[in-house]
Amino acid sequence: MGRVIEMDNLTKIFGEKLIAVNNVNFEVEEGAIFGFLGPNGAGKTTTIRLLLGLIRPTAGEVRVFGEKMTPGSSNLRRRIGYLPTNPRFPPTMTPIRYLDFVGKLFRIGREERMKRLATLIRSVGLLGDSSREIAGFSTGMVTRLGFAAALMNDPELLILDEPTSGLDPAGRKSTLDLIAELGKQKTIFVSSHILSDIDRVCTDVGVIGEGKGIFSGSIKDMKKIIRSRVIRLELEGNLAKFCEALKAAQWVVGFETRGDFEVDITFGPAISMVEAVREVTNLVSRLGLDLISVSSSTSSVEDAFMALLRDEESRGFLRAA
């Protein structure tokens, strides 16, 4: 299987100094449902516009289907379906008329057009509303019409920019179900600022924060990082004895010594950082060691995850992890 999307130091600077996308290098394999996760303002939409060749990178490039994407790459864009955030459609049109119009833009012949729009209207659940004016549609119905429109050209790659944005729980569920279903046949690149949405449907994930790529890999590996916390200790005394005690401590997930004086202790989500530090200092004094320094390894990855997690805890992602 090949790579459908390859970003190569992709960079976009707006004006003189707003670096919206900063040296990003994500790759998407054929057949993946790739979740593009990041808080609001992280650079997701800008990256997607670069992917589609709607804007030019300031530096670096992106290849789609192995070819460099540029504003002139209409041959590549024909193979992509795109659903923007909160799409808008002509309010006086009906789904049938609108999809017919989209099919004409793609120069699909009448017979094939009718066949496709009938199939799509059914598969996105708009059959009962296919002759109603779009003006009266709910956000969920508009989103489903957006999916149908993005699929009209039978694309190999589907790019969805925050498709769950503005939806109620029922709309969110049906949208995620639709993505999972479509993912059986197509490569999907879907952005979201909601971890639990990505968790529900994606096979792989790329995290972006303040324009920078901060994680890329499987959902499983991402959860490992989120759930672990590390405290770094610098100690004086019998480190071996201390390590023995760590092995027996229930709150310790793992540890690693660095030289003769340092140890990184990983603890799980069951206790807070404050509690872990208290446990550590108790252990140190009980064993008669001297504590030189304590620090938590707050790498940029963790910082970014923590920022994401702040408004995530209520959504149940941590419980599901």
- Nearest approach, Cβ of residue 213 and Mg ion (Å): 16
Instruction: Pick out residues in 32-51 that bind Mg ion (CB under 5 A).
Output: 44-45
- Nearest approach, Cβ of residue 193 and ligand ADP (Å): 7
CB closer to Mg ion out of 44 and 116: 44
41: contact with ligand ADP by CB under 6 A = yes
Mark 23-53 as b/e (b = at least 16 C-beta within 10 Å). ebebbbeeebbbbbbbbeebbbbbbbbbbbb
Helix/strand/coil for 284 = helix
CB closer to ligand ADP out of 2 and 41: 41
CB closer to ligand ADP out of 40 and 131: 40
| Residue selected from 6, 26, 28, 43 as contacting ligand ADP according to rule CB under 6 A | 43
> Which range in 35-43, 124-132, 253-261, 282-290 contacts ligand ADP by CB under 6 A?
35-43
All residues at 6 or more sequence positions from 232 whose CB lies less than 8 Å from its CB, including other chains: 262, 263, 264, 265, 293, 294, 295, 296, 297
* Closest to 211 (Cα-Cα) out of 312, 296, 304: 304
203: contact with Mg ion by CB under 5 A = no
In eight-state DSSP terms, residue 202 is: -
| Residue selected from 17, 40, 259, 260 as contacting ligand ADP according to rule CB under 6 A | 40
**Contact yes or no for 114/152 (Cβ under 8 A):** no
| Residue selected from 7, 20, 32, 62 as contacting ligand ADP according to rule CB under 6 A | 20
Residues that bind ligand ADP (CB under 6 A): 14, 18, 20, 38, 40-46
Residues that bind Mg ion (CB under 5 A): 44-45
